[in-house]
Amino acid sequence: MELSLDTSLVFIPKTISDFLVQLSTMEDSSQRSSELDAYVKRLEDEMRKIEVFKRELPLCMLLLKDAIERLKDKVMQCKKMEDRPVIEEFIPLKGNLEGKENSDKKNWMSSAQLWSTSLNVFEYSNHDSVSGLRLRNVEDDRSVPENPIEPSNNRAVGRTFVPFKEQYESGFTGTCLKDDKEVSQVPSLSLMTPLMSEALDASTNTNIKSNNNCRGGSGSGLAGQLKLQNKPQQQSQQQQPFRKQRRCWSPELHRRFVESLQQLGGTQATPKQIRELMQVDGLTNDEVKSHLQKYRLHVRKLPTSSAAKGNGIWMPLDHSADHSKANNSQSGSPQGPLLPGEFAKGRSTTGGESDNSREAEEDEKSDGQSWKGGLLHNNQGGDV
DNA sequence: GGCAGAATAT
DNA sequence: CATATTCTGC
């Protein structure tokens, strides 16, 4: 589209920082300010253009806004300098601004590098994916919790926004997360200003924050079921245009699921109850619901006899396959029996438990996907 | 309006 | 196939 005209026909500094540097080399102050004005205007135009997409490109908007703001400051600064000769270093009116300007500049300048070249962005996203790439200076904090299933009730959590890429290489064991939406889109780079690509990029992968290793069964110990959240990062409405990250039901998770289910008395338990019982951080009702649906499906398939025929493998009772359960931090009371029948429907909702800690780790009975495990016992009549 | 369950979609 | 999302009914 013609948007590309803007960027291709007109000279545009690679980055704002370059622009400023270039600006500083100009002798003529009036020229300087006109250049500045022009640039600001361009940014504003840009902003107007993406106005329509502000919901989709919130970051883009932010970046633009920020850039404009900065440049405007610069403009002011220049104007002042024009008025009064250089000496006037100290500008009373915005004295603090002055200082701020500097430090600020530093910051935003560095961030400016981000967009410096649209190519850059892709560049690293493409190959660097394998190397360690610590892209952008800006972030390196990422405190990924490592507990798998877990406790804490903090579902709120803050780290919503993880700069992309990183998570990809960081550690997925392919199994679970295979969205490779990567940065594939953006064929038409030319259309976007660097700013845009950056923002787009970011928003695209914004919410991928989970890493679980699905293959939990084995020794590794199911390291990671973290929370995955996709909350809108800040701006108003914006519904997540992106699909939820797939939740991987590791054996551990599943185990908890089954346990909870059993405690609740079988299949009739509702997703919500189950979720509450499971106390897995970040797990949503929908996820449980979905899983439950599958569970019921499977269960339905193998009739009661399963216990007999299927035998061991699936049976929750015994079978120690691996002891990965390691990390369930929460309570640990074993509460041995998972026989559904036992306390099956006695207690309904959450409350119940005689013993404090619900579930807990007990033995590592069932591992792999053991659907069949629980339900057979519970029904006391026909049901389901 | 939320939740659960079934039906679809990916 | 497994999970996510959408559609329905309660």
At A61-102, the pLDDT tens digits run 777 788 878 877 777 776 776 555 444 344 344 434 344 444
Tell if A289 CB is < 7 Å from nucleic strand C.
yes
Answer yes or no: is pLDDT of A183 > 60: no
CATH of the domain at A295: 1.10.10.60
The sign of the CA dihedral A176, A177, A179, A180 is: negative
Instruction: Answer whether residue A40 is part of any domain.
Output: yes
Instruction: Answer whether residue A232 is part of any domain.
Output: no
Residue with tokens 């009702």: A285
Answer yes or no: is pLDDT of A254 > 80: yes
Q: Highest mean pLDDT: which of A73-87, A97-111, A303-317?
A: A73-87
* Mean pLDDT (whole number) for A49-68: 74
pLDDT of residue A240: 55
Query: In Å, what is the separation between the CA of A344 and the C1' of C10?
Result: 25
pLDDT of residue A45: 79
Cα–Cα separations (whole angstroms), residue A198 to A2, A21, A105? 20, 22, 19
Answer yes or no: is pLDDT of A202 > 60: no
Query: pLDDT above 90 covers what percent of chain A?
Result: 1
Query: In Å, what is the separation between the CA of A290 and the C1' of B8?
Result: 13
pLDDT of residue A290: 92
* Confidence band of A276 (pLDDT split at 50, 70, 90): confident
Tell if A247 CB is < 7 Å from nucleic strand C.
yes
Tell if A372 CB is < 7 Å from nucleic strand C.
no
Tell if A55 CB is < 7 Å from nucleic strand C.
no
Q: Highest mean pLDDT: which of A67-71, A128-132, A275-279?
A: A275-279
pLDDT of residue A261: 86
pLDDT of residue A289: 92
Q: Does A239 or A248 have the greater pLDDT score?
A: A248
Instruction: Answer whether residue A111 is part of any domain.
Output: no
Domain housing A21: 16-83
Residue lying closest to nucleotide B7, CA to C1'? A293
Residue that is last in its domain, among A241, A267, A300: A300
Tell if A286 CB is < 7 Å from nucleic strand C.
yes
Q: Are A287 and A228 in contact (CB under 8 A)?
A: no
* Mean pLDDT (whole number) for A220-246: 48
Instruction: Answer whether residue A179 is part of any domain.
Output: no
Instruction: Answer whether residue A68 is part of any domain.
Output: yes
pLDDT of residue A59: 74
Residue lying closest to nucleotide B10, CA to C1'? A243
pLDDT of residue A30: 78
Residue that is last in its domain, among A34, A55, A83: A83
Q: At what angle do helices A29-51 and A58-83 cross, to 10 degrees?
A: 160
Residue that is last in its domain, among A61, A83, A105: A83
Nucleotides of B under 7 A from a protein CB: 3-7, 10
What nucleotide is nearest A292 when CA is compared to C1'?
B5
How many domains does the structure of chain A reveal?
A: 2
Instruction: Answer whether residue A264 is part of any domain.
Output: yes
Average pLDDT, chain A: 53
Instruction: Answer whether residue A63 is part of any domain.
Output: yes
Instruction: Answer whether residue A38 is part of any domain.
Output: yes
Side chain identity at A163, as an amino acid letter?
A: P
